[in-house]
């Protein structure tokens, strides 16, 4: 999906917030089911790792599917949790578009570059939300959670 299409989709999801009663980070609504932010981000982390594994094995169709699912998780987080600035999600669009382009081209080198940029975009969002202790990385292997750094981040 191109930038314009992504923005229209995001605006559409934003319109749903009037119906869905968007939540802030600390108080989800009790009158409807809203997945916990940690659960949405856990799903995003799983999609992030699966995207990497699919791309590394050049399963471009699976990688494209995982990218769509990852985008949906990010949009869901912004819709349900008003404490997450929509700008944090939309600033990922260039990285998401580069990833989509790499998958369409079936280009492993472009894929690796786009994946690194996307991962850094995740970390930039985490830092902006004062969650700099959540550090994503390019997976090192197929082990679960191989796409997260668990050691404390070094102090600047």
Q: So what's the pLDDT on residue 90? A: 80
Residue range 149-154: average pLDDT? 87
6-48 pLDDT, tens digit per residue, is 444 554 444 333 333 333 444 555 678 899 999 999 999 999 9
84-134 pLDDT, tens digit per residue, is 877 777 889 999 999 999 999 999 999 999 999 999 999 999 998 899 999
Rounded distance, CA 135 to CA 140, Å?
14
Q: So what's the pLDDT on residue 94? A: 93
86-97 pLDDT, tens digit per residue, is 777 788 999 999
Q: So what's the pLDDT on residue 29? A: 55
Rounded distance, CA 71 to CA 39, Å?
15
Residue closest to 95 by CA, chosen among 118, 111, 72, 112: 118
Instruction: Kindly report each contact of residues 102-105 with a partner whose C-beta sits within 8 Å and lies 24 or more positions away, as own/partner.
Output: 102/55, 103/55, 103/60, 103/63, 103/64, 103/67, 104/64
């Amino acid at each position: 999906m191109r930038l314009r299409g992504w923005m229209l989709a995001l605006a559409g999801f934003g319109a749903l917030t009037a119906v869905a009663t968007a939540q802030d980070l600390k108080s989800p609504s009790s009158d409807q089911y809203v997945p916990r932010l940690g659960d949405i981000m856990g799903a995003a982390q799983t999609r992030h790792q699966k995207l990497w594994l699919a791309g590394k094995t050049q399963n471009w169709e699976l990688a494209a599917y995982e990218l769509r699912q990852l985008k949906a998780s990010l949009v869901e987080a912004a819709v349900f949790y008003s404490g997450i600035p929509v700008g944090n999600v939309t600033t990922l669009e260039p990285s998401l578009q580069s990833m989509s382009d790499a998958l369409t081209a079936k280009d492993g080198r472009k894929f690796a570059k786009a994946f690194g940029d996307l991962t850094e975009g995740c970390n930039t969002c985490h830092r902006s939300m004062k969650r700099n202790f959540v550090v994503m990385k390019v997976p090192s292997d197929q082990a679960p959670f191989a796409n997260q750094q668990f050691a404390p981040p070094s102090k600047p």
